[in-house]
Chains A and B, each alone.
Chain A
Amino acid sequence: NAGVTQTPKFQVLKTGQSMTLQCAQDMNHEYMSWYRQDPGMGLRLIHYSVGAGITDQGEVPNGYNVSRSTTEDFPLRLLSAAPSQTSVYFCASSYPGQSEGYTFGSGTRLTVV
Chain B
Amino acid sequence: GDSVTQMEGPVTLSEEAFLTINCTYTATGYPSLFWYVQYPGEGLQLLLKATKADDKGSNKGFEATYRKETTSFHLEKGSVQVSDSAVYFCALSDGGATNKLIFGTGTLLAVQP
Contact = CB atoms under 8 A, between A and B. Distances in A.
A105 B44 CA distance: 8
A90 B103 contact: no
A104 B102 CA distance: 14
Given A42-B106, A90-B44, A107-B43, A98 B32 contact: yes
18 contacts: A31-B99, A33-B101, A40-B105, A42-B89, A43-B44, A43-B101, A48-B98, A48-B100, A58-B100, A94-B99, A97-B99, A98-B51, A101-B34, A102-B44, A102-B101, A104-B44, A106-B43, A107-B43
How many chain B residues sit at the interface, stated as a range, is 20 to 34
B43 A90 contact: yes
Contacts of B42: 106-107
Contact of A43 (B32, B89, B94, B97): B89
Contact of A102 (B31, B46, B95, B96): B46
Contacts of B20: none
Secondary structure at chain A's binding surface: helix, strand, loop or mixed?
strand
Interface in A57-95: 58, 90, 92, 94
B97 to A, nearest CB: 7
A26 interface: no
